[in-house]
A and B are shown apart, each in its own frame.
Chain A
Amino acid sequence: MITELSAGFLPLTDSAILIAAKERGFAEAEGIALNLVRETSWANVRDKLAVGQFEISHALAPMPIAANLGLTPFDTRLIAPMALGLGGNAITVSTALLAKMQDESGFLGLDAEAAGRALADVVAAGRSGGDKLLQFGVVHPFSGHNFELRYWLSASGITPDSDIEIVILPPSLMADALASGQIDGYCVGEPWNSVGVARGAGHIITTKSSIWASSPEKVLAVREDWAGENAETLHALLRALYRSAEWCGQPENHSELAALLGSPAYLGQPAEFILPALDGSILGASPPGGGRDFFQPHARAATFPWQSHALWFYSQMVRSGYVGHSAAHAEIARQSYRPDIYRAVMTGIGVPVPSANSKVEGALKEMVAVGASSQFLYLGPDGFFDGAVFDPDRLDAYIASQTA
């Protein structure tokens, strides 16, 4: 019997696992016919999940948390039983801003620390010169982009909202906004950085993987009530998506995957704009590997929904003033990610799974083998660029120590 599932996705490289699951037959092998619907906004994804047009969706990692905390217009509860990969975003700035960064501090390369220092110099110079505030675009308030951009700015000595303005723009319009001078930079998922570079609108100055190595980006969002009533279908789906992630992660499949994602039905972009994120060549001369790859759909437990990731996003939602901190709120955030479901499914097919639900983010400086339910599992490095450590067991202290 074939179960049909409707899933929303936005045209981004990190929708790869869902698209390959359909196109390479992994969903079909589990008895699932995936009806993938391309959406133009995360608001549409949220609405269609809420009214039941979608059972599942490609979603921003903080989206289920925001929904469950009542920060969205619906009271539909969402859960993330699986992540859809690690990394995949970058920060792109205009040619004019890059020139200033190079003038101020001779900045070169993609290192988050150096890029942050160079930008801080430009901001300081602009402040004393009475310049108009720089404007950076992100795609959604409750997004990895917004929170990693803000984290990077703060840790570099730049106060978001007072030193730099952050505005919301759809990913597909970022490059045009940069080219026309409407914004000075943006933090967005691929291929929209590569598209901006290819159009001559800007330059990539750093990446999500440099700001926070092995960091979460998109998740599979599922309506909680649907998950409860359709456990078997959900399990079959997770198995299919895991096999798809495995396929997406293999280097020999990257060219085929880039061509597949680029087709008009999906991203509608040339494959050469998509491939650099998949094979890591977007990082330029610095060779991919060593756990510092740009986008990782599979290795290092890339699809495991760590509750420490959920809690970190929550801490940043508190930091930005979207929600007040309380033990009850933190618990809602933690429960929005469901490693228990993931573990039950994956151990069933002999896949190595972390035995913990949370980890200390920033504890692993190198890739290490860790205890898993079976076989070996490699994790990390997972450090923040500023050397800070997020221990989910010390959430209160972490939140208390945060500056704006």
Chain B
Amino acid sequence: MTDRLPSVLIIDENATRASIIEAGLAAAGHSQVMVINEMHGIAAKIALHEPDVIVIDLENPNRDMLESIFQLSRAVKRPIAMFVDRSDTEAMQSAIDAGVSAYVVDGLRQERVKSILDMAISRFNAFSRLERELKEARGALEQRKVIDQAKGLIMTSRGVDEDAAYKLLRKAAMNTNRKIVDVAESLVMSARLLGDEGK
């Protein structure tokens, strides 16, 4: 019994992030991991599953509610305290930086919790990185779309081929000291405005 890994409840309204933490914990041998994506009926779920550790994202506006449930549950001999080894502010700091917090049952040994928190922190960080990369990729994709549209406009109005259209765009950008995408954007925008006016 003493060797059993602590049971973990992950509360995260972001289902994707919750599942990558769940997968990470499963890979580390945690068999008792539960994920909750929405807060409705949370008190009953906690009472039912009695998790040893609860991991929650800091963006969740329900932390105050969650903590008050723990306060109430003290009355039914289910003491849960916030995870923090008071001397270990560094761990706390990196958890907060990553955007995650955790609570544990009182008396659970710190070292058994640390690996869970470390896992959550690294997965939260990985998720943020992924999100950032995705956003950048999406931005790059948008830019290419605008340039393609601008090229199309030039090809029709000037009767040139794609290569020539791109060269014209690049020249206009160099002459005005702007980025190609900015020139393309203003071209598409004015074409749209003028087109609408013409109709």
By a beta-carbon cutoff of 8 Å, the part of chain A in contact with chain B is: 40-44, 47-48, 50-53, 73-75, 139-141, 167-170, 172-173
B61 at the interface (CB under 8 A from A): yes
B33 to chain A, nearest CB (A): 23
**Contact A140-B64, Cβ < 8 Å, known A40-B59, A74-B84:** yes
By Cβ-Cβ distance, the 5 closest A-B pairs, closest first, are: A73-B82, A170-B61, A43-B63, A168-B68, A41-B63
B119 at the interface (CB under 8 A from A): no
A169 to chain B, nearest CB (A): 6
Q: Are A40 and B86 in contact (CB under 8 A)?
A: no
- Distance between Cα atoms of A51 and B86 in the complex (Å): 10
* Cβ-defined partner of B61 (8 Å) among A51, A75, A173: A173
B169 to chain A, nearest CB (A): 34
Residues on A with C-beta less than 8 A from B63 are 40-41, 43-44
- For window 66-95 of B, CB contacts with A under 8 Å fall at 67-68, 71, 81-82, 84, 86, 89, 92-93
- Distance between Cα atoms of A52 and B65 in the complex (Å): 24
- Distance between Cα atoms of A172 and B61 in the complex (Å): 8
Interface centre among B65, B86, B89, B96 (most CB of A within 10 A): B65
> Number of contact residues on B: which range applies?
20 to 34
- Distance between Cα atoms of A366 and B189 in the complex (Å): 63
Q: Which residue of B lies closest to A75 (CB)?
A: B86
Q: Are A41 and B82 in contact (CB under 8 A)?
A: no
Residues on B with C-beta less than 8 A from A170 are 61-62, 64-65
By a beta-carbon cutoff of 8 Å, the part of chain B in contact with chain A is: 58-65, 67-68, 71, 81-82, 84, 86, 89, 92-93, 96, 101
- Distance between Cα atoms of A141 and B61 in the complex (Å): 15
Q: Are A40 and B60 in contact (CB under 8 A)?
A: yes
- Distance between Cα atoms of A32 and B82 in the complex (Å): 33
Q: Are A53 and B96 in contact (CB under 8 A)?
A: yes
8 contacts between A and B (CB under 8 A): A40-B59, A41-B64, A43-B101, A44-B58, A47-B96, A47-B101, A139-B64, A168-B67
B55 to chain A, nearest CB (A): 14
Interface centre among A40, A42, A140, A172 (most CB of B within 10 A): A40
Residues on A with C-beta less than 8 A from B84 are 73-74
Residues on A with C-beta less than 8 A from B82 are 73
